[in-house]
Amino acid sequence: MIKVDRTKVSKPLALDKKVKGKTETEKAIEYYTNPAFDGETNFKFKVYSDPEVKETLIKLFKGKCAYCESTFLHVYSGDVEHFRPKGEIEEADPDKKPGYYWLAADWDNLLLSCRNCNQKLSHSMYGIGTKKTMGKMNQFPLSDVTKYVRKHDNVNGIADEEPYRLLLNPCIDNPEDHLEYGEEGVIRPKKDEDGNESIMAKKSIDVYVLQRMYLVQSREKKLIEIQAQIQRVKEATENYNDTIGSPDTTKKFYFERILKREMERLKKFLNPEEEYVGMARQVVGEFLRLNFGITI
């Protein structure tokens, strides 16, 4: 997961579309505040499903899942994911419904997700023998369950519950401050100076199923590619260094070109369009810092 700047794209006009003089958000507010609301039947949200919304999210997230950074459009059209769930809140007690109904068409609440991060599916998990049914869906954990904002007209809006939010939002937080990657493509919470794991990272890894086996294997494949390219850069550096002070300028120029080429190939792993840039930034960044004094 990496930080994504939502201001890089314009808000879809479809989200503010009015039907019979009212936006969908206004209609949803009327529905849930009506004394006749039975506490069970959900409002039928449609605006977020407008093709313009998904197209804009695909552009914003470079065709990758906002959570796991996998590309998937070649096999699945993707989910328009509500960071704060619109229909119900799984952790809320006793009343799970309604969810954040007033944010169903809120641009800041919408992300692009693959089905494996968003939907409840059976997954083989890294380091666990049995399968588990996991996926975000309506989960939105807070560190204090009494702090949920359940109404659209709360004076401070959702700001009142933000200090208690446990899920990382790539458009608000910098996930790289919370997540790190180990061998075999394993993702894990970062620790602070006192050795305490990031609680937000721990909860996000669980809710977004970021330790599912096939995802770990995919990250490992990318890690192997990165490590192989690092080795090429090391070899190119050694060859170039051997020519320093040599009167053979042709040989020096030749190895300098090779080094530049291999370095550019290494830096391509850091392009936002690439998968698992969060992991690449950690691995490549550490290599460049230690060997070239370059900070990315």
What per-residue confidence (pLDDT) applies to 38?
84
Q: 199 pLDDT exceeds 90?
A: yes
What per-residue confidence (pLDDT) applies to 36?
87
223 versus 36: the higher-pLDDT residue is 223
In the chain, which residue ranges form alpha helices assigned H by DSSP?
A: 24-33, 51-60, 115-118, 199-207, 213-243, 249-267, 277-292
pTM of the model: 0.92
Q: 176 pLDDT exceeds 90?
A: yes
Domain ranges of the chain: 6-211, 214-292
Q: Tell me the pLDDT tens digit for each residue of 34-88.
A: 998 888 888 999 999 999 999 999 999 999 999 999 999 999 999 999 999 999 9
**pLDDT averaged over the chain?**
95
What per-residue confidence (pLDDT) applies to 165?
98
For residue 21, what pLDDT band results from cuts at 50, 70 and 90? confident
Total count of residues recorded for the chain:
296
The whole-angstrom separation of Cα 207 and Cα 172 is: 18
For residue 185, what pLDDT band results from cuts at 50, 70 and 90? very high
What share of the chain has pLDDT > 70, as a percent? 100
What per-residue confidence (pLDDT) applies to 113?
98
The whole-angstrom separation of Cα 84 and Cα 159 is: 13
Q: 161 pLDDT exceeds 90?
A: yes
Is 53:110 a contact under the CB 8 Å cutoff? yes
Q: Tell me the pLDDT tens digit for each residue of 114-147.
A: 999 999 999 999 988 789 999 999 999 999 999 9
What value, to the nearest 5°, has the Cα angle with vertex 222 and ends 220 and 223?
60
Q: Tell me the pLDDT tens digit for each residue of 225-272.
A: 999 999 999 999 999 998 887 787 888 899 999 999 999 999 999 999
What per-residue confidence (pLDDT) applies to 212?
96
End-to-end CA distance of the chain: 17
What per-residue confidence (pLDDT) applies to 281?
97
What per-residue confidence (pLDDT) applies to 289?
94
What per-residue confidence (pLDDT) applies to 94?
87
